[in-house]
Chain A
Amino acid sequence: MIVDGLTFVGDSLFGHRATTADLIAAMDEAGIDRAVVCPVKPRTYRLAPENERIADAARQHRGRLVGFGRVDPLLGDEAAEDADAALGELGLSGLFLHPWEETFRVGASLVDAVVAVAQAHGAPVLAATGYPWLSEALQVADLARRFPDVTFLMTNGGQLNISGLGQTDAELALAQNPNLLVQTAGVYREDFLEGVVERFGAERLVFASSFPLLDARLELLRVRELHVDENERANVLGGNLVSLLQLT
């Protein structure tokens, strides 16, 4: 089974837009069976209604979409309430944090309140990572160190740098925090991804497309072209998320 670890549905303040039908069509074209779907930051700046839309989409496409809720830790108690609602009554499967778009430092103590909610629900936390100053791999690692019982996933290999300058920090973050995984979307250097499998095990690497920001078919090819064995590839492409999210 191929499971995409990061997609977006909604009309983003930042200009990208996709409907649930667009996502399903892209999954069908690429050959992706299931996808984690996250809310965008909408023009209203209000994330809670987006979480409800994602929950509706996940209910309507129960066999294809797994919804994550998005919260803004800067909102304090309201963010914790939103996280609890997302993981409780809305039935979403994880929390998504976007420190760059919401403008908070991911390792800051104010983030603890929403991660504590994820911990209470036994849910993973997916953090948009690789953004300078706010969401670098070691900053996510700092958060992960405070919550060893929570599984954290870093997008983009934990680094968005086309010189490879962020790779060593991403590797240190993985080495020091067994509860930390990285995704594959848009990663600079496929040998970095192969190195994650070799050094830390295929169970630490998760396929993701970042649709519609990136091209789902090309991002799937990024994993298909990796020089790893087929059991490892199967775990990266879906097995790891099937286990983590208890997909059936």
Chain B
Amino acid sequence: MIIDAHMHVDDLPALGWKLDADLCIRRMDEAGIDAAVVMTITDWPEVNAKSIEFLAEVCAAHPGRLYAFARIHPWYGDEAIAALQRAITVHGFKGLKLHPVTTIAHPAGTETLRLIRAAAALDTPTLFHCGDEPLTTPLAVAQAAEECPEATIILGHMGGYFHVDEAIEVAERLPNIVLETSAMPYPEKVREAVARVGAERVLYASDGPACSPALEVAKVRRAGLAPEAEQALLGENARRILHLVA
């Protein structure tokens, strides 16, 4: 079983990006992916106050194939926490997604930590965009992971292009960090991450459909892992972290 832990469904005319669920399913089928977690590129409630209901409908239309993470702006305080709780308990969302580039909310800011803790209280993980920009680097996100040891913190892109070694280092130091492989272009770093933090804390994802799920699966396979470790990355870890029954 292959589960993709990071895909996008959204429509952003301003950027010319149209990423719909049908395209996700086509790309998943091309790559032999059974299920995926989808999220918007916009945040609730700015600039997308309807994102939660929108994703709930998308997932309902593709049962067993698409699951959702709620992307929420931390600055909305109690409203943000209520929106997250509604997404998870009413609509069955599987976690929280935070992208500090769009929110300029620091990963370890007070409001962000409240949101991460609210996700953890519902036994769901927080996926951070973790790349090379300020507010998203592994050392910045690690501040949040250290403050919230009860939360599972997923480093999406595991540091991007220039911060991959730091992502592996913070994952070695903090057991609640999970490294997520999407778009990061180095298969040998997937192998190194498994060797240094264990296969159970490295998660396959593509950031598709804009990034190629087929290429991203091939990257994990190119890492040359033992079959059990490869299966953990490609499916078992996501199933455990997201509490998927299938």
Query: Which A residues fall within an 8 A CB radius of B?
Result: 160-165, 168, 186, 188-192, 214-215, 217-218, 221-222, 225-226
Contact = CB atoms under 8 A, between A and B. Distances in A.
Contacts of B215: 190, 218, 221-222, 225
Given A214-B186, A225-B212, A162 B157 contact: yes
Contacts of B15: 168
B106 interface: no
B222 interface: yes
A162 B210 contact: no
Contacts of A164: 210
A191 B184 CA distance: 16
A162 B218 contact: no
B150 interface: no
B211 A160 contact: no
Interface stretch (B32-40, B129-137, B196-204): B129-137
Contacts of A191: 209-211
Q: Chain A's interface: helix, strand, loop or mixed, by majority?
A: loop
B161 A160 contact: yes
A162 B222 contact: no
17 contacts: A161-B132, A161-B133, A162-B157, A163-B99, A168-B15, A188-B183, A189-B210, A190-B212, A190-B215, A191-B209, A191-B211, A215-B186, A215-B188, A215-B222, A218-B218, A218-B222, A221-B215
Given A163-B131, A165-B101, A215-B186, 7 more contacts: A162-B129, A162-B131, A186-B185, A188-B183, A191-B211, A215-B187, A221-B215
Contacts of B218: 218, 221
B125 interface: no
Interface of B: 15, 99, 101, 129, 131-133, 136, 157, 160-162, 183-188, 207, 209-212, 214-215, 218-219, 222
A218 B131 contact: no
Given A161-B132, A165-B101, A165-B133, A225 B214 contact: yes
A190 B187 contact: no
A247 B150 CA distance: 60
B134 to A, nearest CB: 11
Given A186-B161, A218-B219, A218-B222, A162 B183 contact: yes
A161 B134 CA distance: 12
B41 to A, nearest CB: 9
Interface centre among B133, B157, B161, B219 (most CB of A within 10 A): B161
Contacts of B132: 160-162
Contact of A162 (B160, B212, B214, B219): B160
Contacts of B184: 162
A186 B187 CA distance: 11
Contacts of B186: 214-215
A189 B211 contact: yes
A163 B101 contact: yes
A162 B161 contact: yes
B129 A214 contact: no
A189 B210 CA distance: 5
A217 B161 contact: no
A171 B206 CA distance: 23
Given A186-B161, A215-B222, A218-B187, A163 B211 contact: no
B185 A217 contact: no
A38 to B, nearest CB: 19
Contacts of A190: 210-212, 215
A162 B184 CA distance: 8
Contact of A222 (B129, B133, B210, B212): B212
Contacts of B129: 162-163
Contacts of B188: 215
Contacts of B131: 161-163
A190 B99 CA distance: 21
Contacts of A161: 131-133, 160-161
A218 to B, nearest CB: 5
A225 B218 CA distance: 11
Nearest to A160: B161
A67 to B, nearest CB: 25
A168 B215 CA distance: 23
A214 B184 CA distance: 11
Contacts of A222: 212, 215
A222 to B, nearest CB: 6
Nearest to B102: A163
Q: Which of A164, A214, A217, A226 has the most CB of B within 10 A?
A: A164
